[in-house]
Amino acid sequence: MLLLGLTGSIATGKSTVSSLLSKPPYSLPIIDADLIARQVVEPGTAGYNAIVRYFLPTTPDLLLDAPNGSSSTKGRPLNRPALGRRVFGSGPETERDRKVLNGIVHPAVRREMYKQMVWAYLRGSWAVVLDVPLLFESGWERYCGNIVVVGVSDPAIQIQRLRNRDSHLTEEDAKNRVMSQGDVREKAKRVLRRGKGRGVVVWNDGGKEELEREVQRVMQEVRRASPAWWTFLCWVVPPLGVASGLLSWWKMKRVQESWEEEQRKEKAKL
Three-class HEC string of the chain: CEEEEEECCCCCCHHHHHHHHHCCCCCCCEEEHHHHHHHCCCCCCHHHHHHHHHHHHHCCCCECCCHHHCCCCCCCCECHHHHHHHHCCCCHHHHHHHHHHHHHHHHHHHHHHHHHHHHHHHCCCCEEEEECCCCCCCCCHHHCCEEEEEECCCHHHHHHHHHHHCCCCCHHHHHHHHHHCCCHHHHHHHHHCCCCCCEEEEECCCCHHHHHHHHHHHHHHHHHHCCHHHHHHHHHCHHHHHHHHHHHHHHHHHHHHHHHHHHHHHHHHC
Residues facing 151 on adjacent strands: 203
Query: Model confidence over 166-215: pLDDT tens digits?
Result: 888 888 888 888 887 778 899 999 999 999 889 999 999 988 899 999 99
pTM, rounded to two decimals? 0.82
Q: What is the pLDDT of residues 70-118, one digit of tens each?
A: 556 778 889 888 888 888 877 888 889 899 998 999 899 999 999 999 9
Q: So what's the pLDDT on residue 67?
A: 66
Average pLDDT, the chain: 89
- pLDDT for 113-140, tens place per residue? 999 999 998 898 999 999 998 899 888 9
- The pLDDT of residue 202 is 94
Q: Which domains does the chain have, with CATH numbers?
A: 1-29+126-270 (3.40.50.300), 34-122 (3.40.50.300)
pLDDT at 229 over 80: yes
CA atoms within 13 A on the CB side of 97: 21
pLDDT at 252 over 60: yes
What phi, psi does 4 have (nearest 5°)?
A: -100, 105
**Across 14-41, average pLDDT:** 94
Answer whether residue 145 shows pLDDT above 90. Answer: yes
What's the angle, vertex CA 246, arms to CA 240 and CA 251, rounded to 5?
125
